[in-house]
Amino acid sequence: MSRILAIANQKGGVGKTTTSVNLAASLQATRRRVLLIDLDPQGNATMGSGVDKADLERSIYDVLMKECTAREAIVETPGGCHLLPANGDLTAAEIALLNVENREQRLKEVLASVDEDYDYIVIDCPPSLNMLTINALVASHGVIIPMQCEYYALEGLSALMDTIGAISATANPELQIEGILRTMYDPRSKLTLEVSGQLFTHFGDKVYRTVVPRNIRLAEAPSYGMPVLQYDKQSRGAVAYLALAGEMLRRNEQLQAKQQA
């Protein structure tokens, strides 16, 4: 059975797609079977994985609308990851889902058919708390929240925490915060250190020790349609996401050991 993780934050520009693409690639590098789902109509995770969103035969839209199965829409990226791609068609899905019974459960139903095929399923959410994001949260076991260490990021975090709490209290009791990831991290900034300290105060060990630094190679990689691990595996960005994958795997192993004890 796979562990399903939503990468979510309604604030844009915090590194959601960068984290989704590079965490999936890093997990795959550790020989895990990984499916990346692009749930953002902008299709950036699709393009950043080396798949042309303008040239898709089928996409996550078709799967959500039950026009094809998940297996029929999954493609293999040049890097070897499996991807459920997205393009602008997905905008229509949000409107269409409003008239569907159990609309917040649609993605969960879809993933049940491929659950056994993967160790990890990583979902790149859109930068808003809309029906697509709610579908991702209902389908997931955990939420990874990428965020910059700045004042407004803390404000946005509280709204997301309310949404996660509401969903875990009703539609998905399994849902929990997998971890909070500090992105575009600059240790020279006093504000960065202050916000980072506040995160540890409020969330303790839910905050990943790994931080993702500002890194030119990491920023360049999507324009070449590659995870940074393919583009420049020696870069600080690649090393950071490999470290994140390692930290996450260790946490999950410790959790499983506790549950079995």
**Which residues have a Cβ under 8 Å from the Cβ of 63 and sit 6 or more positions away?**
69, 70, 72, 73, 84, 110
The answer to whether the Cα torsion of 209, 156, 221, 185 is positive or negative is: negative
pLDDT in the model for residue 159:
84
10-residue averages of pLDDT along the chain (261 residues): 94 92 97 97 97 96 95 94 96 88 93 96 93 96 94 81 93 95 93 92 94 96 96 97 97 82 74
pLDDT in the model for residue 256:
80
Q: Which two tokens mark 29? A: 């590098």
In angstroms, the CA 201 to CA 155 distance is 16
Crossing angle of helices 151-169 and 190-203, in 10° steps, is 20
In angstroms, the CA 249 to CA 193 distance is 26
In angstroms, the CA 26 to CA 79 distance is 11
pLDDT in the model for residue 203:
92
Look up the CATH number of the domain holding residue 101.
3.40.50.300
Domain of 125 in residue numbering reads as 3-260
Partnered with residue 120 across adjacent β-strands are 3, 34
pLDDT in the model for residue 235:
97
For tokens 């796979």, name the residue. 2
Q: Strands of 142-148's sheet, edge to edge?
A: 75-76, 82-84, 34-38, 120-124, 3-7, 142-148, 176-185, 207-213
pLDDT in the model for residue 120:
97
Q: How many folded domains does the chain comprise?
A: 1
